[in-house]
Chains A and B, each alone.
Chain A
Amino acid sequence: MAKKVLKRILVSIPVLIGVMLILFLMLNVLPGDPVSVMMKEHAKPEVIERMTEEMGLNDPVMVRFFRYLWNALHGDFGTSYKLNRPVGALIANAFPNTLKLAIAAAIVAWVIGIPAGIISAIKQNTIIDRLFMGVSLVGVSMPVFWAALLFQYCFAYKWKLLPVSGVETWQSFILPAVVLGWSSAGTISRLTRCNLLEILQEDFIRTARAKGLRESAVIVGHAFKNALLPVVTMMAIQVASLLSGAVITESIFSIPGIGRLAVDAISSRDMPLLQGTVLFTTILIIAGNLLADVLYSLIDPRIRTEG
């Protein structure tokens, strides 16, 4: 098992380098000079020239790429052009907010999604099933920005139950977590329901029932465990993507997280910051997938022995 994990980690190194190289080349192809974006129309040509030289932007792209890799290996991810701070520190400061939001959203998603999926499967084609699936369909289909504004309008503005935005108190995280979690819950409940229904047709379930087990024991002990596999994958991927920052939600609720850093970086051609956030996100996605694999083998012994 440990060997397998190690192997996966080693394989992900070229992936990371590849992602960074592609990003580097793409940024290089893009028109527009970061220095003039930084200074808008006020910049004098001589100031632009001096800054470009100082930031090392006159060097060839490959030189800059390897310099970046080398520095990154030493823990130096550069200084943000726009925010004038070390990229590492910016990400480290933003990540706790994104992490809190992601955990809260994941809890909302699982707490709503998994039971809803189970109940819908058990009560297939009843009113409850239709209701749950209808609500989850809304969750999946509703654009996040719209849901965010709607929730903000009702809970914060109309009924004044929660703060409109910010991160000062834990209550501030409730609305964004529900907005984000709801749409993930939709996916999870549909996936849980679908898998569970399939499993419930299997022979071993009939055997379990024939043994005289209570229905709850059949569902929880036999069916659910087997239906969980694809759900776990989905959950791990969702968490990884939540951790890379929910751009729209973070903007609407003014949460200083990774997503906002990345968007600001793109619009201001802030290359060091953009590279930093992309690198960080890539690592998270790789880790998320790895975690899913590990969980898989924990849940399903067959996968473990194959490894």
Chain B
Amino acid sequence: MKKRIGLLLALTLTAGMLLSGCGNSSAEKEDGITTDAATDTEAAEGAGGLDTGSFLKIVELANPNTVDPECTTDYYLVSMNIFNRLVEVKANDDGTSEIVPSLADSWKISEDGLTYTFKLHEGVKYTNGADLTSDDVLYTFTRLLTYSNSLNGDIVDQIKGSDELKDGTAAALEGFTVIDDYNFSVTLKEPYAAFLACLSTPGCSILDRETTDEAGSDFGIDPAKTIGTGYFKFESWTVNSEMVLEANKDCWAGAPGCDGIVIKIVPDEDTQRMMFENGEIDILNLEYAKSQADYFLESDTYKDQIVSGNRVGVYYIAMNQSFEPLNDVKVRKAIQMAIDRQSILDALFGGRGTLENGILPNGLIGYNKDLPAINYDVEGAKELLTEAGYPDGFDLEISQSSEANSTTENVNQIVQAMLGEIGINVTINVLDDATYLDMRNAGELAMYNSSWSADFNDPDNFIYTFFGTVENTNRRCLGYTDTDIIDRVAAARAIVNEADRIAEYQELEKIIIQDDASWVPLFSVKHLFVVNPRVKNFTVSWNGWSDNYYQNVTIEE
């Protein structure tokens, strides 16, 4: 024991002695270390000893739950790049987009709009060398409907026999016929014009039956077991640190333009900005670093390095008609008129966006730019309130989650002030995130603001989601009561003639938003990215998501 005390003391003393003489040496020491640091980081190596120096470096705020495309609804970055879909969406320069072949070389649609016959591209291989066949497509669709963690079953629930497969009364998907290894046909329950668009969503990425089945719940979690046909291979995933994708040089569609992608997980916005300016990341998503947007937009160095894309989505304020007095259309109209949407857009997004007057936003098929504008008119709003019997206004609660982003918070505060002008006394009710979601799903919020962006390019993705069934409008806290209109929204899915279908959607949109004033459409915005000059050919995905396709990006040293 004595010996150990001696040792302990000796150690402490040595430390003490060493230190007493080092008034300024700690600073020197740091300088010495740092020179090495600068050289070392340049040749940084990724987790598996992979040299990631030439990789594209991008950033995410947090870990996704999984990269399994079927088991997420809000994170597709990895799945978009390591898998392919039967068809993809191509964005055109004029802001429109179209569906183009991918794993499916071609397809035929029967006259009645019910049967789709696809021909797969031959010679497509997964990164483990296996061949892509029609059976994999059948597997993908079946898994979407039956896998216990699947959240994206609705992508394919228009296929005949999907309900029977889901509830277990059928063992196979009736509407799917494998003709041979490269040909198959899909029969729908009823015509559904948005079906092809649905197949282009990342959630419908085609998976390999054998490896996916074998991986079980490790699929989407363990990179080695997450196999696709895409431009990149999933190399590693270090929780809370980074994910690495390596170029799939043998990809059937050609090798991608860069050697790989490092996705760093950085929760702090200031850190992101410093990393970008130090060259530690190549592309900064200004939606993840909102507080830094003005800095980059106003900076002489960076303002020319900004790449933007339309976010095909709409910010809206929901008004729940199951709450009094929001059940009175005059009250809802008064609220629409009392909110100065342009000044919210200016204040929160520097005016970078378009005011929306309906449900279908700018950039979406069926967008109606001729919808009458909802005008900001405080006096008119007050008159409507008086007519409705509320000359002195009333009390109203607008709810938000404690984890709401700054936009949601600011919109609520501005709306509170604006509605105050016409005598509506708005209280902002901040709820714990879990409670907020519970209450929202149960249709128990009187009012909230949020945004919805396109998963696939079809009006159905918007109008059906909010007004397609009674359950849908309740779950979005809209409490929309006109069941005739709800039935028409559902029926419009089956209109085979495209022009007729769009016309029907536009008419419904006008009734729901302009006549019934069911929500306050706010605006759609531009999604901005700051890009390091060494990165070429970066484009924002057609719908303006944070998740993008990176196969065309090249890096010039």
Contact = CB atoms under 8 A, between A and B. Distances in A.
Nearest to B46: A168
A198 interface: no
Contacts of A174: 30, 33-34, 37
A24 interface: no
B16 A118 contact: yes
A32 B74 CA distance: 20
A252 B33 CA distance: 21
Contacts of B435: 31-32
Nearest to A267: B403
A171 B37 contact: yes
A199 B262 CA distance: 56
Nearest to A250: B240
Interface in A73-107: 82-85, 90, 93-94
Interface stretch (A7-15, A33-41, A236-244): A33-41
B62 A264 contact: yes
B438 A32 contact: yes
Interface stretch (B100-108, B267-275, B362-370, B502-510): B267-275
Nearest to B43: A169
B265 interface: yes
A19 interface: no
A45 B441 contact: yes
Interface in A256-304: 256-257, 260-261, 264, 267, 269, 295, 298-299, 304
A214 B238 CA distance: 56
A111 B19 contact: yes
A118 B16 CA distance: 9
Contacts of A42: 73-74, 151
Contacts of A255: 240
Given A47-B151, A152-B271, A254-B271, A167 B33 contact: no
- Output the residue of A119, A149, A160, A269 with the most chain B CB within 10 A: A160
B334 interface: no
Interface stretch (A56-64, A205-213, A220-228): A220-228
Contact of B20 (A34, A118, A164, A257): A118
Contacts of A84: 65-66, 217, 220-221
Interface in B248-283: 264-268, 270-271, 274-275, 277-278, 280
A42 B149 CA distance: 13
Contacts of B220: 84
B52 to A, nearest CB: 9
Contacts of B403: 267
B9 interface: yes
B434 A269 contact: yes
A257 B241 CA distance: 9
A218 interface: no
B162 to A, nearest CB: 14
Given A36-B441, A171-B36, A171-B37, A165 B16 contact: no
Contacts of A153: 274
A166 B31 contact: no
A157 interface: yes
Interface string A153-195: 1011100111111111101001000100000000000000000
B515 interface: no
Interface in A127-159: 149, 152-153, 155-157
Interface in B130-169: 148-149, 151
A251 interface: yes
15 contacts: A43-B441, A83-B63, A114-B16, A114-B19, A115-B20, A118-B20, A156-B278, A157-B274, A162-B37, A224-B12, A252-B268, A254-B241, A260-B240, A261-B239, A264-B62
Interface of B: 1, 4-5, 8-9, 12-13, 15-17, 19-20, 22, 26, 30-31, 33-38, 40-41, 44-46, 62-63, 65-66, 73-74, 148-149, 151, 217, 220-221, 238-242, 264-268, 270-271, 274-275, 277-278, 280, 403, 432-435, 437-438, 440-441, 450
Closest 5 CB pairs of A and B: A32-B434, A171-B37, A256-B240, A161-B34, A115-B19
Interface of A: 1, 30-34, 36-43, 45, 47-48, 50-51, 54, 82-85, 90, 93-94, 110-112, 114-115, 118-119, 149, 152-153, 155-157, 160-169, 171, 174, 178, 220, 224-225, 228, 251-257, 260-261, 264, 267, 269, 295, 298-299, 304
